[in-house]
Amino acid sequence: MATGEVKKVVLAYSGGLDTSVIVPWLRENYGCEVICFCADLGQADELEGLEEKALASGASKLIVRNLREEFIRDYILPTMQVGAIYERKYLLGTSFARPIIAKHQVEVAALEGADAVAHGATGKGNDQVRFELTYFALNPHLKIIAPWREWTIRSRQDALDYAAEYNVPVTATAEKIYSRDRNLWHLSHEGGVLEDPWNEPEEDMFQMSVSPQAAPDEPEELTISFVQGVPVAANGSQMGLVELVDYLNAVGGKHAIGRVDLVENRLVGMKSHGVYETPGGTILYTAHRELESIVLDKETLRAKDRIALDYADLVYNGRWFTPVREAYDAFVQTTQRTMTGDVRMKLYKGNVIVVGRRSPFSLYNEDLATFGPDMVYNQKDAEAFIKLYGLSMKVQALMK
């Protein structure tokens, strides 16, 4: 790459080994100014000392934006309200984090007058697609630099050697076992012993949840309250979105909620084995689904279920900023108008056990459902219905 083709680049920066060595690599190979951008999505202590590390790596500045509220409101909640789950298990914690990071990275590039953006995703993973499709959708004029598709670094040791050569401060070691991604929604684990899907995850790997064996021997009751599909309270205490997710992560983790061991199909065509911890998200998905069971009619619920499968693929495959996703959201939002009510659950050794649900908009009618004396439903009417409903089957049998 000829020096001078890029004047200023905004790098999606985490402070980890890969993005730390990308800073001097960009300066060496592109001769450009490097601005580091970090989205605060709830990485907790991972953000400590980040500015000093970025500047010491050769960046001209670090820009951090607190996006936790926006992350839940505009990305997590719409996905939960649809009911999207990728390949039956994955609650998409990394998948919808990438579009919000890339969106703000593009905004920072415009504010800073940058002509390029860069990311640290590998050429084997899904994240490269999620970042770059967002760049395409929001500013197709930006040059995209993906070092993992260009440089000669091929291993963790190579990256450590490069960091040492350029005096890049890193805390990583060659013995690091797992590749992790953390935000306020989940924590993912890949690599190490997990590369063999026959291996059981080691207990000391988990950071957000205890094992079922270590969880309390008594269940804990929890009530989640919703207003138009948005969770607003736990056990009657009103909370903001960030506070609520943090609380549910803590109480869910205490009871071993939300552990998922998954062999998934990556977008690029290979399978990968990962373990996810999503305690609060698992509780919210369960509660929201149960409230739907009494509020939504059958056909609407079936339509949502069909959309959920496509929506999960859209999110996983990085196609967040697309018209079809916006159209799905518009439909789903109409279904949330009556999604107000409470769901009561018990948390016990990895299980979220629903024990009650109520709503002022409930379609459940005890007079119709009762097994006792019935003054509303005439059971004799079912005879004619069954004859019509089964007519085609009867005709087929007669033809035989």
Catalytic residue list: 18, 98, 127, 179
- Rounded to 5°, angle at Cα 366 from 360 and 367: 120
Beta carbons of 24 and 56 less than 8 angstroms apart:
no
C-alpha distance from residue 267 to each of 75, 148, 270 (Å): 20, 17, 8
C-alpha–C-alpha distance, residues 135 and 112, integer Å: 16
What is the spatial order of strands in the sheet that 116-118 belongs to?
61-66, 33-40, 8-12, 116-118, 143-145
What is the residue whose two structure tokens read 């402070």?
15
Annotate 94-141 with DSSP letters as a single string. TTTHHHHHHHHHHHHHHHHT-SEEE----TTSSHHHHHHHHHHHH-TT
> Hey, what amino acid is at 327?
A
Q: In the structure encoding, which two tokens stand for residue 134, read together?
A: 């967002």
* Strands 143-145 vs 116-118: parallel, antiparallel or unpaired: parallel
